[in-house]
Amino acid sequence: MASANSIGYLDSQLQVTFTTDGSYTLTLPQFNTDGGLYVLNSASMYFYAAESVTSLALTNAALGTETLNIYDNSNPVRNSTNTANNADRYINETLDIIDTGIGPGLAQPNENFSGALTFGGTGTPACPEYEPSASCSSVLFVPPNINIQNIDAVYGLPTGTGLEGLTGVVKVITGADLLNYTGLGTFNLTGATLNTLSANGGGGNVSLGVATNATFEAEIDYSYTINNGTPEPSTMALLGGALLGLGFIGKRFRKS
């Protein structure tokens, strides 16, 4: 008798504060066949990454007024690895967090940053928060709503939602690759953020500082069958010593 089942596992590192850059390790279990009682048919792995800006500070050290555009993006899968099968690591998920310029593929719109920023020269007072101008030399932003995720539609990545409720970029694992996820141990998804903050303009005289929060989660769901090798006598019919029919009963449930 065989029956179809599925089970999900989740691990996360929530709101890890990176004032510059940082690393993470997400640990997930391999699939235990319990000596062949369970047969793994497929697996789906989900990865979620997000980064939010908690503060952005800009200071003009030049004597005169400077005008610039600022750019802030983050690669949350820098040096990513998958210890079960490195071919299944997550790549190409650079997030465009802030861009005051214009053009395709830029950050999602945010009312706090629009167009070029102009700063007064050294010796002028600090600007009020969010209010850069030619009469002040430094400004602080504490954005309330800049939260960029790798599942945002602007990035065009394939996404799905797992059994444990995690919505993330999905990888489906089948065939011989399932052997990499079968065993009694665990495997790790690791990576590091690489945040790039730069200014176009400003004559190299504007210093930039950014602090961010990062969130990482991963889930793996296993789809398997239970096969105990014992047919139901009531579903068999023997004719002339030959097996004519065998009924299969299927049900779907989550193994805990």
More confident residue, 21 or 118: 118
CA 250 to CA 235: how far, in whole Å?
14
**Average pLDDT in the 32-52 region?**
94
What's the pLDDT at 243?
Answer: 23
Cβ 81 vs Cβ 166: under 8 Å: no
More confident residue, 168 or 70: 168
The tens digit of pLDDT for each residue in 89-147 reads: 999 988 888 877 755 455 554 556 767 889 899 989 999 998 999 999 999 988 877 88
User: Which amino acid is residue 154, in one-letter code?
Assistant: V
- The band of 253, judged by pLDDT with boundaries at 50, 70 and 90, is very low
Q: How many helices (H) and strands (E) does the chain have?
A: 0, 15
Tokens for 58, please give them.
């800009």
Cβ 197 vs Cβ 138: under 8 Å: no
pTM of structure = 0.81
What's the pLDDT at 73?
Answer: 86
**Average pLDDT in the 49-68 region?**
90
- The band of 25, judged by pLDDT with boundaries at 50, 70 and 90, is very high
Could you give the 3-state DSSP secondary structure of residue 155?
Answer: helix
What's the pLDDT at 202?
Answer: 80
